[in-house]
Amino acid sequence: MKQIKTALISVYHKDGLNEIVQLLNRFNVKIFSTGGTLQFIEDTEVKAESVESLTGYPSILGGRVKTLHPKIFGGLLARRENEDDLSQLKEYEIPEIDLVIVDLYPFEQTVAQGSSEQDIIEKIDIGGISLIRAAAKNYRDVLIVSSRNQYKKLANILDANKCSTSIEQRKHFALEAFNTSSHYDSAIFNYFQQDTEPIAFKQSTQHAKTLRYGENPHQSGMFYGDLAKAFTQLHGKEISYNNLLDIDAAINLIAEFSQPTVAILKHNNACGLATRKNLLHAWTDALAGDPVSAFGGVIITNKPIDESVAKEMDKLFLEVLIAPEFDKEALKVLKSKKNRILLQLNKECLQPKQFRSILNGVLAQDRDTKSETREDLEVVTQQNPAEQEITDLLFANIIVKHSKSNAIVLAKNGQLIASGVGQTSRVDALKHAIEKAKGFKFDLKGAVMASDAFFPFADSIEIAHNAGITAVIQPGGSVRDKETIDYCNSNKIAMVFTGIRHFKH
């Protein structure tokens, strides 16, 4: 155990600090402080000394240099069991510093606000980050508190141990300090790299959650990030690794729709989806798309769930249900199953970048945010698609964009009829979709077909035509596009090109 006798406090955010200052004063801890923090402490009627009185130098360069001095860093870095270190402290009249409370200028927030480059540069902390690293390095003798989020934990320790700390406590605070400093440096690096050719990969999150296991029970699993920003869990068991993959796929998919829509997903792919005038009708038709696969699925809606919808949903075993809102009566119904996971979706949780670890490195790409509209459609056949067909083509194109490649989607009147996903050939994907649609007694006459990539041959178009498909949407771009266009023209099929491929692996 180490007794805290001297503390250095220099913080940007003052909220929550008063309780700590009063505790330190109660245990007669000598406090050094700077600028606004010193004034704050004195306003609480607690005695503190300025850093300038210790160093003999004033704050200079507009506050850029305040604590960068041997009398500060000597007191932090001196090893208390090293006689030479202690001798030098005595020779140069440097006090031992046992506790450092410091936070950093809000660099990320300043960038997010769209501030000027000058303001952003000024929010690159120098003294604070140096104090954090020095105190954390010497955790055997010094306690470092690098965030106001640690004040409650600190207060409990000070109160329980009469202002003493254990080596385990100091090492844990040091761990959190290096988390703070490395995250801060990563944010600065990425700001400087944003407009240049990337030279390195640095991504950081300050939150981590241990999962029950990974993709399979014999694999360990973690989530790095703040799930509370994405959704609020209202009920159910702990979310698993596979749940999170499905939840991510579901949120990305539902974000594409504005009209009342319900999507049912299994293994990251939609097995049921419908857009209707009301959510109850959307649920009924989404479930009809594949009531077998829907068992144990992940359900997401883009509109609030009321009691009438909840009662219908409750008839099916659902693993996860996600909605922007649940009314009270709906929650009563849905909470009847103790393990059912109910998530209330927050507005913003999708990142602009996607990362995947492969081999000995990381792949990075922009998230696929391209959504085709009527203006993007190029009619390449003599037959023009009818108004309802255009609506269905755009609808099907959204679903195929969010399906594993190779993917084919069949849709009709705002309803997913069937899909073939994750196939090694586009023909196999189409055959699977047709077989599935027929298995659930859907009439494919007048349905439309969407493909995530171009058709290399006309064979898929012929198979689709024989099944009753009357309109097709695809990126185009094959050297044999003319063959597919000619087949469509010979059989009065409407086909549009988007010029945009939506592979998903």
What pLDDT is recorded for position 354?
93
Q: Which two tokens stand for residue 136?
A: 């954390």
Looking at residue 16, the DSSP 8-state letter turns out to be: T
**Which residues lie across from 356 on neighbouring strands?**
363
CB count within 10 Å of CB 51 equals 25
Of 148, 53, 161, residue with least CA distance to 98: 161
Helix (H) or strand (E) holding 264: strand 261-266
3-state secondary structure 139-171: CCCCEEECCHHHHHHHHHHHHHCCCEECHHHHH
SS3 297: strand
User: DSSP per residue over 98-111, as a string?
Assistant: -EEEE----HHHHH
Query: pLDDT per position in the chain (505 positions), as tens?
Result: 999 999 999 998 898 999 999 999 999 999 999 888 999 999 998 999 998 988 888 888 887 888 889 999 999 999 999 999 999 999 999 999 999 999 999 999 999 999 999 999 999 999 899 999 999 999 999 999 999 999 999 999 999 999 999 999 999 999 999 999 999 999 999 999 998 999 999 999 888 999 999 999 999 999 999 999 899 999 999 999 999 999 999 999 999 999 999 999 999 999 999 999 999 999 999 999 999 999 999 999 999 999 999 999 999 999 999 999 999 999 999 999 999 999 999 976 788 899 999 999 999 999 999 999 999 999 999 999 999 999 999 999 999 999 999 999 999 999 999 999 999 999 999 999 999 999 999 999 999 999 999 999 999 999 999 999 999 999 999 999 999 999 999 999 999 999 999 999 9
* Residue 22 token pair: 């009063």
Q: Say if CB 472 and CB 367 are below 8 A apart.
A: no
For residue 463, give the nearest of 417, 431, 423 by alpha carbon.
431
Please tell me the distance from the alpha carbon of residue 70 to that of residue 55, in angstroms, as a whole number. Answer: 8
pLDDT for the residue 478: 95
The tokens 């009563």 sit on which residue?
332
pTM score: 0.87
**What's the CA gap between 474 and 272, in Å, rounded?**
21
Q: What pLDDT does 68 receive? A: 85
Tell me, what's the pLDDT at 56? 84
Beta carbons of 7 and 32 less than 8 angstroms apart = yes
CA dihedral defined by 50, 53, 54, 56, rounded to 10 degrees? 130
Q: What positions carry a catalytic annotation?
A: 137, 267
The CA angle 181-183-186, to the nearest 5 degrees, is 110
Rounded distance between C-alpha atoms, residue 444 and residue 415, angstroms: 12
CA neighbours within 13 Å on the CB side: how many for 311? 4
